[in-house]
């Protein structure tokens, strides 16, 4: 077997028995997007649009936004690009939408919640995304961060449709969204698990605090259960339909090769990660069949702790020895 860290990624994520798992990149702008395309990413699973405008005191104009988004779309002609609307607040404040006096920013007006305080900012962003998409061959999907309820998902889908965008989806990064995934997916076309925040909110452990890193890991059995429930919700929503709606992952969990296998075993359809991790994840995925990935997912779910889950899975993946 090849050493995972030396493997060359050929742009195709597959299990050993040939099940396709698109491997996409998380990017923060056009420079990242070009690097990701060079690294073999099959598209963009998360464009963090707030990264395009960090440090700005004023809202970027629609023209500025169109230029920024086009720079990313141009790196992926004909490919899927998931553009996330602004996730300002908490660890990523943007002065033109974030209230710096909030007592508890991680639980404050962040992500999609700006619809209640700065609705025009969101509407102008959606129109900029639609304009950039109209001028591109990329398959543009649009996604809202920090969705907590099915009602919010429905409202976002309506706003996206009003802007002329075709494929609305939402992030599942709040435990309430994982628990109501079936209802959420009745409103939108896909969901993407944000395991960084999902872990933070499930474990009530600030993702920025080093001393809490033992709690703050997506290997926690409670977090894996939330992933399982999200997939189950999507399957329930798709029952009786010819094609179900996809559940992807765009949190850092997807960049951990052993955890990527577990996520695939839990039924996740695509993985989006930092471009640096693509080759290692592709190599490990290609070393297991889907049935083996499912068995490893059951092993992780049944483990008594995050450390036990990680150790049990890694011990059965020869590439990671």
45 binds ligand PEP (CB under 6 A): no
Distance CA 88, CA 95 (A): 9
Q: How many CA atoms lie within 13 A of 142 on its CB side?
A: 29
Per the listing, tokens 């839990």 go with 266
Min separation Cβ 180 and ligand PEP, Å: 18
Min separation Cβ 195 and ligand PEP, Å: 5
Query: 17 pairs with which residues across the strands?
Result: none
4 binds ligand PEP (CB under 6 A): no
195 binds ligand PEP (CB under 6 A): yes
Count of chain residues binding Mg ion (CB under 5 A): 3
Say if residues 13 and 285 touch (Cβ distance below 8 Å): yes
29 binds ligand PEP (CB under 6 A): no
173 binds Mg ion (CB under 5 A): yes
Interacting residues with ligand PEP between 61 and 90 (CB under 6 A) = 87
Q: Which does 195 bind (CB under 5 to 8 A by kind): Mg ion, ligand PEP, none?
A: ligand PEP
Count of chain residues binding ligand PEP (CB under 6 A): 10
187 binds ligand PEP (CB under 6 A): no
Question: Which token pair is 77?
Answer: 């002609």
Stretch that binds ligand PEP, among 35-43, 94-102, 195-203, 312-320 (CB under 6 A): 195-203
Distance CA 69, CA 130 (A): 10
Question: Which token pair is 36?
Answer: 């990701």
Using CB under 5 A, pick the residue from 93, 175, 194, 267 that binds Mg ion: 194
Min separation Cβ 65 and ligand PEP, Å: 18
Using CB under 6 A, pick the residue from 196, 225, 235, 274 that binds ligand PEP: 196
Say if residues 216 and 209 touch (Cβ distance below 8 Å): yes
47 binds ligand PEP (CB under 6 A): no
Q: Which does 267 bind (CB under 5 to 8 A by kind): ligand PEP, Mg ion, none?
A: none
Say if residues 3 and 23 touch (Cβ distance below 8 Å): no
Q: What is the DSSP string of 86-115?
A: P--BTTB--TTT--TT-S-GGGSS-GGGGG
237 binds ligand PEP (CB under 6 A): no
197 binds Mg ion (CB under 5 A): yes
60 binds Mg ion (CB under 5 A): no
Q: What is the DSSP string of 211-273?
A: GGTTTS-TTSHHHHHHHHHHHHHHHHHHTTSSSPPPEEE-SGGGGSHHHHHHHHHTT--EEEE
Which residues would be at the binding site for Mg ion (CB under 5 A)? 173, 194, 197
Which residues would be at the binding site for ligand PEP (CB under 6 A)? 46, 48, 87, 173, 194-197, 250-251
């Amino acid at each position: 077997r090849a050493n995972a860290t030396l493997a060359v990624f050929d742009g195709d994520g597959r299990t050993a028995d040939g099940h396709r798992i698109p491997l996409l990149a998380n990017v923060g702008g056009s420079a990242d997007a070009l690097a990701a395309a060079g690294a073999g990413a099959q598209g963009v699973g998360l464009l963090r649009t707030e990264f395009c405008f960090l440090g700005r005191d004023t809202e970027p104009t629609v023209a500025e936004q169109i230029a920024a988004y086009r720079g990313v779309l141009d790196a992926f002609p004909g490919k899927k690009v998931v553009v996330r609307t602004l996730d300002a607040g908490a660890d990523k404040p943007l002065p033109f939408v974030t209230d710096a006096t909030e007592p508890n920013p991680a639980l404050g007006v962040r992500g999609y919640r700006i619809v209640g305080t700065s609705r025009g900012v969101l509407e102008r962003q959606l129109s900029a995304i639609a304009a950039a998409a109209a001028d591109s061959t990329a398959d543009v999907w649009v996604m809202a961060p920090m969705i907590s309820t099915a009602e919010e998902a429905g409202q976002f889908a309506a706003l996206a449709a009003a802007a002329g965008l075709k494929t609305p989806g939402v992030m599942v990064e709040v435990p309430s969204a994982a628990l109501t995934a079936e209802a959420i997916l009745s409103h939108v076309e896909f969901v993407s698990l944000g395991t960084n925040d999902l872990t933070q909110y499930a474990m009530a452990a600030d993702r920025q605090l080093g001393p809490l890193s033992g709690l703050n890991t997506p290997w926690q059995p409670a977090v894996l259960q939330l992933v399982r429930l999200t997939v189950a919700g999507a399957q329930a929503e798709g029952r009786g339909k010819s094609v179900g709606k996809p559940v992807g992952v765009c949190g850092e969990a997807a960049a951990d090769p052993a955890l990527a296998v577990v996520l695939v075993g839990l039924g996740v359809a695509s993985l989006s990660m930092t471009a640096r991790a693509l080759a290692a994840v592709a190599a490990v995925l290609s070393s297991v069949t889907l049935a083996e990935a499912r068995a490893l997912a059951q092993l992780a779910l049944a483990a008594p702790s995050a450390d036990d889950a990680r150790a049990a899975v890694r011990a059965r993946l020869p590439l990671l020895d």
